A and B are shown apart, each in its own frame.
Chain A
Amino acid sequence: MFRTIKYILTLSCDEATRLASATMDRRLSSVERVGLRMHYLCCRFCRRYRRQLHLIRQLLRRRDAQIAAEADASAATLPPDARDRIRRALIRNSP
């Protein structure tokens, strides 16, 4: 009990960033959750850190969607020699 309270009250930025990342991959324990929330209340740098991590994730998903939808005009195209090579491989492997 004492250790739990101590963990919550003394949670450092080091630990808070670890938990901020963990929330993107797993469910936090209730103690971790409370500790992290308390830390965010008084630390704008860790709040900022959390926001920026989520922004990075969001940007990557948007990029993926753009590329999948071929809405990205400047995206790379399969080079001609690779096209030929792959075509030949398909012919070679056709039943």
Chain B
Amino acid sequence: MDDSQPDSQTPASDPSSWVDGHGDALFRYALLRVRSTELAEELVQEALVAALAARHQFEGRSSERTWLVGILRNKIVDHVRRTAREQPADQDGATESAVADFFDKTGHWKSRPTKWPGDPSRVAEDQDFWRVFDECMGKLPGTLAHAFTLRELEELATERICQVLSITPSNLWARLHRARMLLRRCLELNWFAPET
């Protein structure tokens, strides 16, 4: 009576095939978020080892890739949490002026956002643009980069990010505001509208 169990169990494939089957995709995913090759490699390894231990939990409801990416995401969030904890707490104050610098005493723009020529959305296909983008991200102070990565790349809910970083919502909004302000300006100066 029990030899037919249609699609109740779809075991994950042989773990020895994971590196070839998903290694590159997972590596790229990690690399976008941590921007260090060594660290990205390490996170992929951590994720695959964790997946191996949790293999019986794979239910085949999602694809194996999606399942592995989910585990990798948790590892990335854990990593950001650890790094954030080690960061000196006063880093935030140092970046406060960074936004104030954009406005005069009356709250008006000091250097106004310039028009980005052409169709700016087409830059997504341009590898040079992404190189500049990554450099701009790299220039963000750590606390801002963490908040921005969790929000814009991991697309986590703000409540979750507050938990991960142990900060208040208003603190998070302030960090995201500063991160966006600095990043936009950096992209403007180095890509969209360089001052000649």
Determine whether B52 belongs to the interface, using a CB cutoff of 8 Å to chain A. Answer: yes
Name A74's closest neighbour in chain B (CB-CB): B127
B189 partner residues in chain A, CB cutoff 8 A? none
Are B19 and A87 closer than 8 Å at their CB atoms? yes
B interface: dominant SS: helix
B98 within 8 A of A: no
Which residue from chain B places its CB closest to the CB of A47 in the assembled complex?
A: B113
Interface status of A42 (Cβ within 8 A of chain B): no
Q: Do A25 and B173 contact each other (CB < 8 Å), given the known contacts A56-B187, A76-B28?
A: yes
Q: Which residues of A contact B28 (CB under 8 A)?
A: 67, 72, 75-76
* B: interface residue count bin: 35 or more
A20 → B minimal CB distance (Å) = 8
Contact A57 B152 (CB under 8 A): yes
B152→A59 contact, CB < 8 A: no
Are A21 and B173 in contact (CB-based, < 8 A)? yes
- B45 an interface residue at 8 Å Cβ cutoff? yes
Q: Which of B41, B124, B173 contacts A26 (CB 8 A)?
A: B173
Q: Which one of B4-12, B29-37, B75-83, B88-96 contacts A?
A: B29-37
Bound-complex Cα distance A12 to B161 (A): 29
Closest B residue to A63 by beta carbon equals B124
Number of interface residues of A (CB under 8 A): 47
Contact of A59 with B121 at beta-carbon distance under 8 Å, contacts A49-B184, A86-B23 already known:
yes
Within 8 A of B (CB), among A32-90: 45, 48-49, 52-53, 55-60, 62-64, 66-68, 70, 72, 74-79, 82-83, 85-87, 89-90
Interchain CB contact (< 8 A) of B177 among A18, A64, A72, A91? A18
> Counting CB contacts under 8 A, is B1 at the interface?
no
Q: Which residues of B contact A29 (CB under 8 A)?
A: none
Does B167 lie at the interface of the complex (its beta carbon under 8 Å from any beta carbon of A)?
Answer: no
Name the residue among B20, B23, B106 with the largest chain A CB count within 10 angstroms.
B23
Are A90 and B48 touching (Cβ within 8 A)? Answer: yes
Could you pull out 6 A-B pairs where Cβ atoms are within 8 angstroms?
A13-B108, A17-B102, A70-B24, A74-B127, A90-B16, A90-B19
Q: For the A-B complex with A25-B173, A67-B29 known, give 19 more contacts whose Cβ atoms are closer than 8 Å.
A: A13-B107, A13-B109, A14-B107, A17-B177, A24-B180, A26-B158, A52-B120, A63-B124, A67-B32, A72-B28, A75-B24, A76-B28, A78-B27, A79-B37, A82-B44, A89-B48, A89-B49, A90-B16, A90-B49
Chain A interface residues toward B at CB < 8 A: 12-15, 17-18, 21-22, 24-26, 45, 48-49, 52-53, 55-60, 62-64, 66-68, 70, 72, 74-79, 82-83, 85-87, 89-91, 93-95
